[in-house]
Structure 1
Amino acid sequence: MKIAVDAMGGDHAPQAIVEGVMLARKEFPEMQFQLYGDETQIKAYLTDETNIQIIHTDEKINSDDEPVKAIRRKKQASMVLAAQAVKNGEADAIFSAGNTGALLAAGLFIVGRIKGIERPGLLSTMPVMGQTTGFDMLDLGANADNKAEHLVQYAILGSFYANNVRGITKPRVGLLNNGTEETKGSELTKKTFELLSSEPNIHFIGNVEARDLLNGAADVVVTDGFTGNAVLKSIEGTALNIVSLLKQSILDSGLKGKLGALLLKDALKGLKNEMDYAKYGGAVLFGLKAPVVKTHGSTGPEAVATTIRQIHAMLETKVVEKLVTQFEQKTSE
């Protein structure tokens, strides 16, 4: 397995990326890593080059670059070279913590879509309270505007990922809506509900509401990219604010509060870990010819290693190859 890594993407690059790769290498000694970026900066944090190849480039895509223009104009950028390596068969997957829009563009224009998939979706596994499995949600922002047919494809893609990568038999697919009744929602969700109800390749359980997502209402949740991105950021923001509020309340409550917090230290740590979506890995642009995976820009080494574990699972289960076969059969029928 070979992974092309954009070593210069992210708020803490290349340090967090390099240290995360070294953590993952301990777990997966059979994997090979191609690190694209400034060789001098990368080597400053690299203590052992076993199974690690550095491909030097001075160019990188910045967080404020316009995605499509950056991909087309910065031909030697670390992200572009990593994507090109996947296209050329020199690597099996690409990983980046850099500019999300640019990585989506690189995935679409360089790696390429699987035949039969009109709109690849950005998929991420989110936490479920009291459970370790989580749920998959897409689209999380790859496409702002969608047709009902696109959401049906997302349902198939999400179900396929949940089954093959996460090992969930007959995953429950829910359509995100403002009510559970069949008649609720916009014209888009009503049409999607109708199509999903007659789709034989998924286990559709109907509409699900946003307030029930973290309670495990479904194994796969489908929505348009605009709504999905808004929900994702709401969940992220809520989790961060709850932790911040708890911490501030403890600091403001005097000695008794601090003593109480000390006694509850393990429980509070467990709560924080349970709400941490990063423990499931990064977001996958699913529906492309190879795994294209994005993790949060502020990610640290542990989250980088977790995302690489996710990529390993995708490659080991050959989920992309299976998806190609399924959609090739559908388009030939």
Structure 2
Amino acid sequence: MGSTCVRIAIDAMGGDHAPGEIVAGALRAREELGIEVLLVGDPQQIEAALPSKTNLGQVEIVSATEAIAMDEEPLSAIRRKPKASINVAMNLVKNQKADGVVSAGHSGAAMAAALLRLGRLPGIDRPAIGAVFPTLIASKPVLILDVGANVDCRPKFLDQFAVMGSIYSEYVLGTPNPKVGLLNIGEEDSKGNDAAVRANQMLRENSQISFIGNAEGRDVLSGRFDVIVCDGFVGNVLLKFAEAVGDIVLQILREELPQGLRGQIGSAILKPNLKRIKQRVDHAEHGGGLLLGVAGICIIGHGSSQAPSIFNAIRIAKEAVDNSVLQRIQSQYQSLQQESN
């Protein structure tokens, strides 16, 4: 690409609040992160969603005449609709016209489009969606993967997730020597089903990661682990549950704060604390998950994403580009293959 500025393609037609909230989050990212955003979708709808004072000459819109609905079967829809916004966005990355893609649309369609158009990184059997969760330790998040890309996982898939998650945790989240755990029903290596026991053994033998054992449900948010691997079925249930807990915590805070003048005074005093609480537990602050294992940067956001979530999803994409996540994963697997030979 001719410019060193990071360019992110945004699926403007994906999500419950498209294109309005998607466009708003993208414009904020352009202003605050200093990146170029390519708004992919129906030009008329995108232009209608732009603020009235927007200079159209400063906004890059890439036309896509189709969109994929949430109730469509992902693979067939991707093939049937080549001009769908998610396909057009992926092609921008494939053709090196963008450094990454952000979509809050159909997550299955986003993954299918990434696999068909970008392909997998060498040595990776299955991609995984990684989601960042807050923990009891401030500024020490935990990365969970997979949270929805693979319903069933072989032990070797979990082993690959651990390597990719460790690289992301170290270079993007800033965690030196990330501690890896396997989500399980007990701490002992012998606990769980046959696949869990075999995965535990494989993770223990992997010299590329710092595996410290099984992680029970109560350990997920403790801060003891930096990366936790699991299959996409369990991971997605965990993700949705954690989001619900965060929403409940925020709702309880709003309900329990005193009303009237006392409440106004108390809220003013507590405002910095309340803001930090929101940043730690509100899933909108984390934006979405990075699809690790495909040959391109792809962030899959929540279908209900509004402008703040889209902004944070674009920020994650930029950080992944800036920290060369793809190149690091590829380099790690090349060295693994050389060792095995």
- Normalised to the residue count of structure 1, the TM-score between the two structures is 0.92
Q: Secondary structure at the match of 2:92?
A: helix
| Residue 221 (structure 2) aligns with | 214
Q: Secondary structure at the match of 1:141?
A: coil
Change (3 A) 1:286 1:255: same
Retained in 2: the 8 A contact 1:239–1:275?
A: yes
Change (3 A) 1:201 1:44: same
Q: Secondary structure at the match of 1:27?
A: helix
1:8 is aligned to 2:13: yes
Change (3 A) 1:38 1:225: same
- Normalised to the residue count of structure 2, the TM-score between the two structures is 0.90
| Residue 244 (structure 2) aligns with | 237
**Deviation string, structure 1 residues 268-316 (Cα, Å, up to 9, x no partner):** 4543332113323321110111111111122221221111111111111
Query: Which of 176, 191, 200 is matched with 2:198 structurally?
Result: 191
Q: Secondary structure at the match of 2:188?
A: coil
**Deviation string, structure 1 residues 252-282 (Cα, Å, up to 9, x no partner):** x987996897477534454333211332332
1:222-301 to structure 2, matched below 5 A, reads 222-248=229-255, 262=267, 266=271, 267-301=273-307
Q: Which amino acid aligns with 1:291?
A: I
Structure 2: distance between partners of 1:130 and 1:230: 23
Structure 1: distance between partners of 2:131 and 2:55: 31
Q: CA deviation at 1:214?
A: 1.4
Query: Which of 302, 310, 315 is matched with 2:316 structurally?
Result: 310
Q: Secondary structure at the match of 1:293?
A: strand
Q: Which amino acid aligns with 1:40?
A: Q
Count of residue pairs the alignment pairs up? 330
Change (3 A) 1:203 1:130: closer
Structure 2: distance between partners of 1:304 and 1:327: 31
1:324 is aligned to 2:330: yes
Q: Secondary structure at the match of 1:205?
A: strand
Query: Which of 142, 147, 170 is matched with 2:149 structurally?
Result: 142
Structure 2: distance between partners of 1:48 and 1:296: 29
Deviates more, 1:109-118 or 1:86-95: 86-95
| Residue 42 (structure 2) aligns with | 38
**Deviation string, structure 1 residues 59-88 (Cα, Å, up to 9, x no partner):** 111111111111110111111111122122
Q: CA deviation at 1:325?
A: 2.4
Change (3 A) 1:202 1:130: closer
Q: Secondary structure at the match of 2:102?
A: strand
Q: Which amino acid aligns with 1:317?
A: N
Retained in 2: the 8 A contact 1:123–1:283?
A: yes
Change (3 A) 1:189 1:257: farther
Change (3 A) 1:60 1:182: same
RMSD: 2.2
**Deviation string, structure 1 residues 176-216 (Cα, Å, up to 9, x no partner):** 11111222211111111111111100001111111121121
Structure 1 gaps of 5+ residues are none
Structure 2: distance between partners of 1:271 and 1:37: 35
Q: Which amino acid aligns with 1:209?
A: E
Q: Which amino acid aligns with 2:112?
A: A
Structure 1: distance between partners of 2:165 and 2:172: 10
1:21 is aligned to 2:26: yes
**Deviation string, structure 1 residues 135-175 (Cα, Å, up to 9, x no partner):** 11101110001111111111111001111212211000011
Change (3 A) 1:50 1:161: farther
Q: CA deviation at 1:239?
A: 1.9
